[in-house]
Amino acid sequence: MAENEILESIRGRIIVSCQGTADTGNPFHTPEHMLLMARSAYKGGACGFRANTPPNILAIKEAYPQLPMIGIWKIVEGDNEVYITPHMSAVDTLVSLGCEIVALDGTDRKNARGQYAWQFLGEAKKKYPKQLIMADIATLKEAELCAKQGADILSTTMCGYTEESKQFKGVCNFQLLKDIKEKVPGVFLICEGKIWSVEDAREAFESGADAIVIGTAITNPMSITQRFVDLAAKVK
């Protein structure tokens, strides 16, 4: 598919992120488990996937070669906080796996090499001009910076996880979607993160999201349980 066709195939639709990690104690974390999650998402009508690490991406891509894959590779480098596809060899690998979309940290933070994440994103786009590049950002400024670097997709993934956006921890920042839609109108906009209910999803679309990525609320039964358990503890 051409880049534009890929974007049109996900417009107005739901992408499911399949990203269990053993680190968190999540019983669902192997490539086989992630494939079962992807199968469930596919049967439920998802238009594509987001997955982390080559083994998980491969397992899903093999089963669903026709569906767009947003590939990421979380790599923690020392105590640096930029960890979503943070260096070129990770980008090279994701491109070589055939990911229709490669997502990178696009925040205004320096990576382990002292380079701003959005700057490195620009380098990746220059190296792979035909590859759809998705910028995981947290603020309007970062969205603007990444758009200038050639990002094809802006995504609110990091909102709530950076120093500047920490007030949005656990809640979806719908205003950020509206701001990006208004100030960076030409770039495909994805709402990712903190979508828990259909009401949230509706608000995200109404705030300007061209597509929505949902992960935890669909593919992480441990975290979903935890959320209900926390509520029960509060009520009683």
Q: Which of 2, 43, 66, 170 binds a second copy (CB under 8 A)?
A: 43
Element (H, E) at 101: strand 101-105
Nearer to a second copy, 44 or 98 (CB): 44
- Does position 14 interact with a second copy (CB under 8 A)? The reply is yes
- Does position 219 interact with a second copy (CB under 8 A)? The reply is yes
**Nearest by Cα to 18 from 91, 5, 46, 10:** 46
Q: Who's near 123: CB < 8 A, 6+ residues apart? A: 88
Nearer to a second copy, 150 or 208 (CB): 208
Q: Which of 41, 60, 146, 177 binds a second copy (CB under 8 A)?
A: 41
6: left (phi over 0), alpha (psi -120 to 50) or beta: alpha
Q: Which of 40, 80, 115, 119 binds a second copy (CB under 8 A)?
A: 40
Query: Are the C-beta atoms of 41 and 18 separated by less than 8 Å?
Result: yes
Nearer to a second copy, 2 or 235 (CB): 235
- Does position 74 interact with a second copy (CB under 8 A)? The reply is no
User: How far is residue 226 from each of residues 65, 125, 171, measured CA to CA in Å?
Assistant: 33, 39, 16
CB of 185 to a second copy, least distance (A): 18
CB of 197 to a second copy, least distance (A): 5
Nearer to a second copy, 81 or 200 (CB): 200
The site for a second copy, by CB under 8 A, has a size of: 48
Query: Are the C-beta atoms of 84 and 112 separated by less than 8 Å?
Result: no
d(CA 20, CA 84): 15
Q: Kindly state the DSSP code that residue 74 receives in the 8-state scheme.
A: B
Nearer to a second copy, 20 or 106 (CB): 20
What's CA 53's distance to the chain center, in Å?
Answer: 13
Query: Are the C-beta atoms of 15 and 21 separated by less than 8 Å?
Result: no
Nearer to a second copy, 15 or 57 (CB): 15
Binding footprint of a second copy on the chain (CB under 8 A): 11-14, 16, 25-28, 33, 36-37, 39-41, 43-46, 195-199, 201-202, 205-206, 212, 214, 217-232, 235-236
